[in-house]
Structure formats: C-alpha cells, structure tokens
Structure 1
C-alpha cells in the first residue's frame, strides 16, 4: 500500500524515551496496517513544532513527558487542530488521568509496557474507525436517504433563506437549479409574495380560542395551499408568526388570479375558522433574487393595515411608489457600497459607483437628489462603523453635501462622489493601520509586562486585546515580525539570561522569574535558544569578566 493511498493515515509518535519510539517504529509493519509515520518527537513542544509543517491524522503520545506532557499537548492540539485523533500511552498510575482526557478527542489508550500485538490491534481499531468516518461522509446512498428523510426541512430552510438572505449577487441560473433541486413550484417569470397574519383579537373571540394557535396556523396554511393550487403555481410555508405565500407564474396568470386568491384566503378563513386574517401583498417582481425585498414590502403593507386599522388586505402598491419610480439604491446596493468602502479595492469601488449612477439615469430631479443623499448617508455609515468620531476634515465634507446641487452634469456629480468615497477609504485605511499598529505595540508591551505569568498564552492575550485569537495571531506576526510564541520565548529568554548574568540566583529561580514552572523545560528552551545551557552561559560570562 502506497503512502498516497486514500486508506493510508499519517501518525505522529511522541515519547520522551527514544528507544521506545524506535522500537515501535521498527517492529510495526505500518504500511500493511494502513499507516505511515509522519514524524516523531521527544516531548509535546517538539510535537507542536512538527505539526507547524505537517498535521497528522493520528497522534500517539505518552502522557508523562518532560517539557510538555501529553495532556497539555492534547489540549493545545484540540484548540489548533481539533480533527486530529489522539491515542494515549500511559502507565497504570496514569490510567484515571488518561480517562479524563476523553474530552480532548482521545480515541484509544494503551497501558505501558506496550506489547506490539496490543499496539497492532489498537491500530486496526483506529483504522476501521477512521474508515467508517470516511465511509459515512461519502456514502451517497445513506446521504440520499438522510436527504430524503429531511427533505421538507431542507426545502423549508431554502424558502426561508430566499426571503431573509441576500441573493442579489447569486446568478439566476444558480437559483433556478436550487428551485429544481428542491422541487419548488417557483418556475414562473413573475412572482408576488403574500404575508398572512392571524388577527389575534378575532382568534380570541372565536370558538377556537382553546386550540393551539400554532396548530391553527398549520391548518390555515394547508387551506391556503389548496386555494393556491386551484389557480396557479406557488409555495406556502410558515415563517415566525406569519404564513408566507410565494406566487409564481406568468404575468397574465398572476394578474388574473392574484386578487381572487387574496379575497378567497380572507373569506375562507372567516368561514372555516371564524377568525380573520391580515394580508400584506408585495409588488410583482421578475427574479427570485428580489424575494427578500418583496417579503419586506409585504411586511410593510401588513403593518400598515394593522397600524391604520384599514382593510384586512393591503397592497404595497397602494401605499408606496413601486416600479420605475422606486429608488434603485436598495438595501443590497447599500450593503455592497459600504463593504467596498471598508474592505474593497478602489478599482471595484470605482466600477460600482459607475454602475449605480447608470442605473439611476432618467430619474426625475427630485428622485435623483434623494438618491444622492442616500449614497452620501451610506458612505458616512461606513466611516462611522470604523471611526466613531468625525475629524475636522470629515465634518467639512459632511457639510459639503449641498455642494452636489451646484453641479449640473451627472458626470460632474459622479466624479465628486467618487472623490468623496476615496477620501473616506483613505481615512478608514489610515485609522485601521493606526489601530493595528497600536494593538501590536500594546500586545508586545503586555508581554514585556506579564512575561513572568506561566499561564500567558495567545488566547489569554487576545482576550485582553478584545480580538479573536486567529486575527490577533496574524496581526501580531505581521506588525512585530515574530509569531506570538517566538516573541514570548525571545522576551523570556532575554530576561532569563539577564537574570542569570546579573544575579547569583539558581537556575530554578531564573526559570520561575521568566514564566517557567518546570526547570527541565526551561533549560531545554534556553539551550535551544542560545545554543548553551543556563549554567554554561553563566560560566562563559564569568570567564570573560575575569579576562577583562
């Protein structure tokens, strides 16, 4: 069996006794068992160094080791590489200790002294467990069975995502494929959303008041589904406290039956359940990518009816501008503009601004002015999300919104707006750089101040800096030129050396003063860093002093 085989799994072997490691490596026929040795290490610290370059499938580690034991190694691996499976090697005295590691992703343990037979049997069990995990992940028949069993839930999840997530940037063909996959009756070229809400006061007055409202909502959804199916295509599903109806058909069919459906839902509810409903009707839309906006407009219509105590059926087209009069700068465009200002490239921003201005070409003067103000406010939102307080220059630019109206040509206005956006981009980038520089310096100063704390870690310091460990790690290395671990080692080693050379302290005292609780581990790190042991460095220093 070759190393590249899918059934081959990599192993990192960790034990402080080299002869044990060597015996295990030489006596087991690894390839026949479906494994290969990725590497070996004498303690947890060395194992982590190996894993910086290559992450194994399985870690076999002794528990009792100098420098860093197996438990601490397992804890760190759980945080950095939680998918690695761990096998403990332990003596009888460590048995309970090994069992306590079950939450560290320990899958097997072997008692020392280890027999090759026990080790090979363990390897067979681990190999089978890993194979089973892989089979389950790739078992198409089982996946299909699970998929079909959960199909309604998956279908519902997609329908909800259509009305709550932004699909503006998703190609129409991709949305159509999803509609096919979930076997949805949403293949029409025109859509409308109805938002149906049970009127609570009338429900309480009905003889059904002692029934569960959710059960009634489920039953009502079935009634609405039967009504829809009589006339056209569509989907009906419950979402929060409402019933959402997505009608999808040709424009002619929608125009012919939309009003009839709305009326029939209202009347049938009253006749069958003896309570009334409110219905918010969205504008018509051509693409399913607009479902979120249509859903929001149906909510607006529904809320308008509740607020004004008007008709139980309210059409958004009766209370708001739609179609060609509706502003092109919608929520999706605003989010994209803000995102490009905060993290996009200037080239992308420039192209998107051109796109926005082209889309509003032909609007009336009043609508165009509203459009400009919305753009202006969105840019300020992006600025405020990064820089809470306006500086003097930005305050002046906020006041310059009136300057836009001095320009007569749309080209001039567009260039003015681009220049305004680029100024904000520069301000945000400067502030971000200033913040990262400050964080990097602050975190390095924190290490200088707290290096004696043996519990100091990337996680604890990132918590102090109020940022995530992964972002902190990348930021620290980029700005300080060293990884967090190497920077901490450097500080501790330099401080330890200074302590050893300027005082008569014992090595243990120098270790504790530098943040190490284990003298052997300290000496190991010291020699690795300086090339000589603590005592040797001290002796060399004294010899040089005598020569002077």
Structure 2
C-alpha cells in the first residue's frame, strides 16, 4: 500500500479531496494533510509519502518552491499539482522541475481516480524495476565473488604463468598494485551450537559474514574459502609483519566478541606479488595443522610452527622421522623401525631430556601425517593433545615406543573405519562431476549442497582419494574432455571451451597448451592428420 499526503491552504478543498476517493480500494493510504508549504515539508519528512497532492498557490511557500525542494531532497516521490485555470501558466515550470502530473480544479472523482491509478501503475513498475536491478546487482556480486574465488584458487593450486595471472586478476578485479599479500586460514575451535553437521556449516557461514563485513569494507583483503576453511587474502599497503599480525588479531577478537566462539588462525608469510600466494597458503595450512599440538584459540605463524619442534640431534631425528612416516601404511615395518629406534636410543648415551624431545618430534610428525591424510582424525583425541606430557609420564624408552604404537593403531583404525563411507561419497562426487563439469560455476559449494557434505570434509576426502585438490582435478578432467572433442568433433575451439566449462577461450587455450605442450588448434590438426592416415 502506497502512502499519500495532501497539501492545500483551503480546508474545504482538503476535506473534499479526502472524501472524494476510496483510498484503500485503490491501494493507497491517506497519511496526513497540511495547510501550507512549511507544514507540508515537515509532514513529508515525518511520514515519507510516495505521492504528494500539492496546491500551487499557497501562503508562506508556494507549490513551485516546495516542488523544487522535494525533488532535490526526495527524488523518488511523485508530485501532483492541484491548479486552477488562471494558474495554468505555472504548470509548464512545474513540469520542468520534474513534477509528475497536474489536475485542474474543480476536481471530479473520475479524474482523480484515473490520475491515481496511473501513478500507482508507475510506482509498481519502478518497484519491479528496482527489484530486478537488485537481483542483477546481487547476481553480479555473486559472479564477481566466484571469479575471485576461482582466480585465487588457480593461482594457489595451479602453476600459472605471470601473464595469465595478470589477465585473470584483471578480469576478477583483484588488485595487482599492493605492496604485499598474505594468506591466513581461520577455523573454529567449536561450533556455535554443538557438533551437528548443520552447526558446522552455520558456524563457517557466520564467520564468513563477520569477516566479510570487516575486511572488504575496509579494503584490506578478500574473504574466500580454501579447502573448506575460511581464508583471508591480505592486501598490504606496507610490508610490515607486525601490522599484518595485529590486523589478523583484530579479526580473531571480533569473531569471538560477535559470535561467542574461539577460532585458531594459521598465518602464512607475506609475499611481494599475488602470483606467490601459493607459498603463503602452504605456510598457513601447515601452521593451522599445528593447532593439534600447540593448542586452540591462538594465532599460529610459520615461525611458531617451526620453533616448537626443537633442533637437538637434528640429523638423527630427521632420519628416524623420514623412515617412520614413510612406513605409515605398513604396520609390520613401522613396528620394526620403532624397535630399532629404541635399541639405538638406549645405546646412544643421550640424556633423558634429549630422548623425550626426539620422541616428541617423531610423534608430532607422525600425527601431522595422519591429519594430512584425514583432518577429521583429530576428533578421536582431546582438544589439545600434549604429546610431551604423555611422553614424560613414561618410565622407559620402551614404554614410550609402546605408547607410540598404540597411537599409531588408533589412527590406522580410524582411517580404515572411514574408508567405506568415503568411497561412497567419492562415487557420488565423481558422478556429479561427470554430469556437471560443463558448468563454468561448478564449485565445491555446489557439490557439497548436492551430496550433503561440509566443504572441509569434502576437501579432506577428495584430496585423500585423488591425491590432488578439486581445482586441479576438475582442470585436468575438463582438458581431457576437450582433447576428445578436438579429436572427434567439428566444433571450433571457443565452442569446445564452452562445452567443457570455460567462458574465456583464451584462458582455456593457455591451460591446454601448458598441460599438453600444444595449442588446441595444433592438437586438433595433429590428431586430425593421424585419423586421416588411419582411414587411408
């Protein structure tokens, strides 16, 4: 229902117009009237009408002066002038000012209803156009977000050439002129409401909203999702790590204050160009994995990740670490290496503290490997597993090795237990990719909504089963499909690019050449000649 006000200095005219029309039947509400221009402006400020019925000739402020003020202050309000025949010369000036229409005194019911219906129709059209405009703006915003997400993922997970990175960033409107860039991964330590699946998704969504409102309005970064984690691409105006860490601390504190939960942040180092953010991401991911050992509700930098391991007897523990981690899938060999470590350590002459430090390093590395295989494995341990405390409780080196074997068995049992449902998930994921790979906006989020998985669990399962990220896999899959079309179809290169999910043919050609050392046209010509020779 639209609001309407009446401004006329004659009381009899105001009363007559109020009684002339059944306002509600037309979808209107008469929300007030005024006897002069000054009171009329005050009324308009108070009730914000959609339509103003305004007399031209009034004391204190005439209708023309008032129309000019209203048009400048409230350009969307519709003004209709009420005028007599002897005032008609003013109408042209009023129309020039943007007045919607006019009506001559004496006013009949039929004339008024026709005029009002016309205004209502126009207001409805504007409302519809505004709605469509908002939908379009939202669609453009979503499209820009997807472009940025895809561009950043490609920079991190694919080895792109400098020229292609620049072109992709320009299309996605990513700034190339910042002094430095960095990646930080922010992950909740507990969900907003328990541990149900929907609570995890709600928590991630809430964190993303808080970060989005703070970061992007300030222009200091871009919020996105990387392998199921909320991520910040930091856009630095100066290469100062203290400023970088303070800003991340501010974001962390805001999440706790607004949502009432704690988060742990893995922070990668600053890099000078956007093309090197893959380095920062790897450091951030490694740092976040160390939450398992260092504890929750903290900011973990790459320096902190390295420092907690210690350096005593470095060559010795490096050798044992490599052998133990390398035998993670062979229980017999793993046990034999443990026994060998016990024997060599007992004969080494190391102090008790040195032995404990080395065992702590070995267990930490072993657990980190299991976490890399399946991040959900942390659910079988306490929130903060204090490996050193566990080790220090053991009275002998042999007792420590037996505890390590127990931890190994527990992790392996969990991995095996997860294998069956993971295979079912992968079947559904692969089926969806086969059906939808041609869609340019195919994303982890879209697949997760279809098969009812959280993005973080999807990323864990997918990488474990395929050995690569989703972006790497879908790129390879699309390019293989493109090879088939180049060899066996008559489609042009840009048509094939569209068929396999690439809007930008040049980007498709660049990826194709990088993968197969030939442009699509060269590949088509080469394979076409081969097919002709076979037929001959």
TM range (shorter): 0.3 to 0.5
Q: TM-score, normalised by structure 2?
A: 0.32
Q: TM-score, normalised by structure 1?
A: 0.32
